[in-house]
Structure 1
Amino acid sequence: MQRRSFLQAAAAAGLALTIPSVVRRVNAAEPFTGPFWVQVHASGGWDPTLMFDPKLASEHTRAYSEVARVGNIPFAPTPIDLAALNVSQDYDYQTRLLSNEQFLNKYGGRLTVINGVDTKTNNHDSGTRSMWSGQTGEGYPSLGALIAATQGPGLPMAYISSGGYDATQGLVGLTRVSSVSSLQRIARPNLMDPQDLEGDKFHTADTWQRIGRYQRERIQRLQEREGLLRPRAAMGALEMAREADGDLSRLELPAELVTVPGNDLNDLQRMMQQSQIALHAFKSGIGASATLSIGGFDSHANNDRDQRRQLAKLLAGIDYLVTYAGTLGLQDKLYVVVASDFGRTPYNDRDGKDHHPISTMFAMGPNIPGDRVIGATTEDRLAFAVDPNGLQPVSSGGVTITPTLIQRALRRAAGVDAELDAAFPLGGAELPLFS
């Protein structure tokens, strides 16, 4: 069996931690200090023409009559209009949402936008898999899982997910947590009140240590008696998880999660809370990557209203993520990658837009160039190929930008372990998308 095939089979069996370079990091007890990666998924398929790939043809837009720019980045000039977005005007929602222009004024100098991304699908599941793993079919881990498996597979919250494509293929544990109180109980199981670090405990310190020692000794006895590799590996994973549980005590959570009044921005509130939990795990040194999500983008009817509303929430959520990271001292260590299932067609007869394979994505982080647009689409929303060296759009020849090529470039930018990269190979041209 080839080494690559072996590693894939091992991952499927939950044995991927036998990779030597990963084992070394599993055994490291030091808190992880970054860089940290957050993948943000806009679920349902967003409309790039209402973002950073604007078109003026009437079959593509009815929401604006000119293309605006901030620096080198074009955008659809659609201001926040609560009435037009069918959002309540009873609260200060105007200040809680973000327009394209507001977002670019704040982050355009740090942003790389990639237009004309050919997902080669109009299926939600395969589109989501493709954008975050580089493959439309099943069997490949997400970018977040590869980063977590590279940077900190032994961390108790190495990979945190709140939706989107988060397959791990057994490379690393996946944490799904939305409640601060439940997470506190997991992190501090010996405290009667997990919010009171000096409060009463269920067991004395000596008893708690004995329980841990007896658990380790029992696992060792079971492993010695077990002859099959997979059960032995599962026992080892359990032991490692228990050891990592001790590191959870380092987790410092916010006293309470952020709230937004009313009900119209509940999904934005959830995204903001997801951000808080992920960033506090990063700050505590027990997490390396996270996936956040916000839905509502499948706009087969009322496209302009629904897309503009959800995009304003998405951009506001990203702004909250980056701003909150700054309050924790993490902003200069944070990478953010944003994508959706696919794009949208011209208008249908319900004022909606249907599924279209050509999409957009964008990213920012410490070493990602800013104020940059790569790729383009025709007025019919078809993808231009790009020159593989300079990345300029070309009318003939060139390379079509696909999720596979984007994921290859992201793996390089994130420093994904070479053996993990080889175990789940991505073919095609090597494009300097993030360098």
Structure 2
Amino acid sequence: MVYVHTDGGIDHDSWTDPAIGPGINNYTTAGTPVPGSGNLRWAPMGNNTAFFTRFRDQCLFVNQVNTETNSHEDGSYRFATGKLEMGYAPICELHAAKFGAGQPANWMARDDGRAMMSAGLATPTPVPNGDQLRAMVLPNAASATNDFVKQSDFAKTVAVRNARLEALKAAGVMLPKERLLTEQFIAGKEARVRLEAVAANIPQQISQQFPDIQVGLIAAQSGITAAIQVARGGFDAHGNIEDYNGANGSLTRLTNALTFIWDEAAVRGLTDRLFVMVGGEFGRTMLNGSGGKDHNNVGGTYLIMGPPTWALGNRTVGYSGPRHEQRTINRMTGAPDPNGIVLRPSHVHKAIHDYLGIGPSNPMLAMGVPASETINLFNASMVTGHPSLLA
């Protein structure tokens, strides 16, 4: 699993929940049509069109999620955990605890403190850079490409030491405490062999643009990590929403990072079991007097991506009104329903817990979503679309 936090709170209207109307956005003023493909529509900003066209069948948009907060800290925590109350586990922690038990760094994270606040099920390991990764797995490593001494000489020294320990253990001449310490050392040596396997997967040159993502995927390929949590920033656009646009705008940087995740996962043989989740902090208002957008609890959005063979993409669940008003949907079909539910992060997380089988065994950490509100998110027939664009 890879969780990407859009730090600052991405504007849904600039991403997966576009609207057409005066005062909402600049692309309406410019007369730029809303692009789309299949069941998806997206804002004509950044590199959205190239990205969503390529990955359409892997993308599930979950729009109009009410976070019930305008706070950056509370919003990032709620998107990552599903809850506002303290003490709940981030989605990556649950995944690491379920599928990474015993792995040396089962949850690698480089995100803000609230979004990666542990509930005690797993400990987040800061994502190392290339030099740090190699030093972590090879004691002889001076950097990503250099060693302190010749590796062949180091290997001979280790082999002699290990042979001596095994001989002492076999001879039975050690005192009980010495024997216990020797067995623990040998067990540690075996764990070290597992870590050394990581070194074979480290390239000569680590990506300069996406080192945290690449290192995390190397760790996943090597079997020492089950969950990776990273952030991409530049989304708190109070002053000018056009900061999202351009070759180096925050939207382009985000879609480039997501593209890198899938391309690098293909190189490392991970695409068939990769689950990517992009979360924000809250929604945003219409344009303010400065050409930017302010915080709004209504309008949060998740992007969920599965493998190319997923068959659950090309769908949008949840929608907003013509001017991004709160709307309700049928929890089973996704259709607009005035008697339906308001989507909240807990609904989305509960659906993911059930789909991936990562729900916490401790009921105190569960989402508390009543059966009457559970959503059918991972059923291919649940589709809302973008009905307000047709109004």
Query: Closer, same or farther in 2 for the Cα pair 1:219/1:434, shift >3 Å?
Result: farther
1:16 matched residue in structure 2: none
1:342 to 243, 259, 282: 282
1:248 matched residue in structure 2: 195
1:168 matched residue in structure 2: 118
**Residues 166-245 of structure 1: pairs in structure 2 closer than 5 A:** 166-190=116-140, 195=145, 198-201=151-154, 203-207=157-161, 244-245=191-192
Q: Establish whether residue 431 from structure 1 lines up as the match of residue 375 from structure 2.
A: yes
1:25 matched residue in structure 2: none
CA shift, 1:201, in A, is: 1.9
SS at 2:96 equivalent: helix
Native 8 Å contact 1:297 1:307 kept in 2: no
Native 8 Å contact 1:159 1:288 kept in 2: yes
d(CA) in 2 for partners of 1:239, 1:168: 31
For residue 18 of structure 2, what is the amino acid of its counterpart? P
Native 8 Å contact 1:154 1:240 kept in 2: no
For residue 74 of structure 2, what is the amino acid of its counterpart? S
Query: Closer, same or farther in 2 for the Cα pair 1:201/1:155, shift >3 Å?
Result: same
d(CA) in 2 for partners of 1:287, 1:281: 5
**Unaligned segments of structure 2, at least 5 residues:** 380-391
d(CA) in 2 for partners of 1:350, 1:315: 26
**Residues 289-300 of structure 1: pairs in structure 2 closer than 5 A:** 289-300=227-238
1:416 to 350, 353, 358: 358
Native 8 Å contact 2:237 2:243 kept in 1: no
Q: TM-score, normalised by structure 2?
A: 0.82
CA shift, 1:370, in A, is: 1.0
SS at 2:313 equivalent: coil
d(CA) in 1 for partners of 2:285, 2:186: 51
C-alpha distance after superposition, 1:363-402 (max 9, x if no partner): 11144611101010012322211101111122x2111110
For residue 27 of structure 2, what is the amino acid of its counterpart? A
For residue 37 of structure 2, what is the amino acid of its counterpart? V
d(CA) in 1 for partners of 2:263, 2:144: 28
2:211 matched residue in structure 1: 273
C-alpha distance after superposition, 1:245-304 (max 9, x if no partner): 542111121221123xxxxxxxxx1xx211111111111121111012111111110112
Runs of 4+ with deviation above 4 angstroms:
190-197, 208-214, 216-221, 238-246
For residue 270 of structure 2, what is the amino acid of its counterpart? L
2:53 to 86, 105, 114: 105
Native 8 Å contact 1:38 1:337 kept in 2: yes
**Unaligned segments of structure 1, at least 5 residues:** 1-36, 81-98, 222-235, 260-268
2:26 matched residue in structure 1: 62
SS at 2:152 equivalent: coil
d(CA) in 2 for partners of 1:167, 1:218: 40
d(CA) in 2 for partners of 1:410, 1:217: 48
SS at 1:325 equivalent: helix
CA shift, 1:181, in A, is: 1.1
CA shift, 1:178, in A, is: 3.3
C-alpha distance after superposition, 1:137-183 (max 9, x if no partner): 22111100110000112101211112141222221232213311122
For residue 434 of structure 1, what is the amino acid of its counterpart? F
**Residues 315-354 of structure 1: pairs in structure 2 closer than 5 A:** 315-354=255-294
Q: TM-score, normalised by structure 1?
A: 0.74
CA shift, 1:113, in A, is: 0.4
Q: Establish whether residue 257 from structure 1 lines up as the match of residue 206 from structure 2.
A: yes
CA RMSD between the two structures? 2.9
